[in-house]
Amino acid sequence: MDIQSLPADFNQGMKILQDNLPFLLEVGTRILSALIILVVGWLAGNWVQRRVTAIKKLDATLTGFFGGFLKYGILAVSMITVLGQFGVQTASLLAVLGAAGLAIGLAMQGTLSNVAAGAMILILRPFNVGDYIQAGGIGGTVKALGLFGTEMATPDNVYIFVPNGKIWGSDIWNYSRHPHRRQDINVGISYGDDIDKALGVVRAVLDAEPRLLRGEEGKEPDVMVSNMGDFSIDLIVRFWCGRSDYWALKWALTKAIKEALDAGGITIPFPTRTLEVRDGRSVLPKSAIQ
């Protein structure tokens, strides 16, 4: 490049810059304002979600769902405002989006069905945050209900994200809805044992447990003969308890009943196999009880 031509090129470049300076300033201002709107919208959406989630007077299930709904609503408004900054006619844009909504809805059936399922779960409330449920073959404690899915944790604290559509489309078993739960413990005794004695031993164990529910019709603890099995007389130990004591009582009473039956001389049979030998030859084994 000729050095003598630099002043002329420089002057020409400056003239072009001056001629386009208003346009560049306008575009730069729009870009800067768009970035500011997006950042403010993102921060405002997260702030509103946290504020709604922190409301103690509302149920945790409601706050989680509405917090996510408001956050995405603010982000949508921010995006529309940004498009308006660049001269896009938002009214016509909304009309076009409305016309294209059917096609988008068909393409996103799964996602939109999760939103609809989340709304139905929120309205009918088959479970709340903190309940232990089983749905769609998955069991866990509900941690949060969102627009698209439900967050759960298994008893060993494994995180599970389940789409709302999968939960809504299956049977929902809520183990935490009712304050009381019934429990059955199956016990087998030998055919040669005294049944009345065994019933008395088990009832004594139940009477000594203060956590069992008593005094309500149909909820008194009891033990009954349920079946004459192949190798045992089967008993059912039935009682009601608070849901928080369910597993603790199951483990404690199973151990206490076994120890009490052993102390009372009641045997708990188990299948054995005998082998008959005739003339020095063994025959097919058959089940028997010793």
pLDDT tens-digit series, residues 158-172: 999 999 989 998 999
101 compared with 220, residue with greater pLDDT: 220
What's the whole-number average pLDDT of the chain? 80
185 compared with 73, residue with greater pLDDT: 185
pLDDT at 18: 65
What's the CATH number of domain 126-174, 2.30.30.60, 1.20.900.10, 3.40.50.1380, 3.20.20.220? 2.30.30.60
Q: CATH classification of 180-263 is 3.30.70.100, yes or no?
A: yes
Domain definitions of the chain by residue range: 10-107, 126-174, 180-263
pLDDT at 253 over 90: yes
The answer, as to whether pTM is greater than 0.85, is no
Instruction: Check if the beta carbon of residue 193 is closer than 8 Å to that of residue 260.
Output: no
Cα separation, 21 vs 44, in Å, equals: 34
Average pLDDT rounded to a whole number, residues 164-183: 92
Cα separation, 246 vs 178, in Å, equals: 12
Cα separation, 176 vs 145, in Å, equals: 16
Structure confidence at residue 225 as a pLDDT band (50, 70, 90)? very high
- Stretch among 4-18, 62-76, 82-96 having the lowest mean pLDDT: 4-18
Give the list of residues 6+ apart from residue 35 with CB closer than 8 angstroms, or none: none
Average pLDDT rounded to a whole number, residues 236-252: 94
pLDDT in tens, 34-77: 788 788 888 888 887 777 777 666 666 667 777 777 787 787 77
pLDDT at 7: 59
Instruction: Check if the beta carbon of residue 251 is closer than 8 Å to that of residue 241.
Output: no
- Stretch among 48-52, 126-130, 250-254 having the lowest mean pLDDT: 48-52
Looking at domain 10-107, its CATH class is mainly alpha
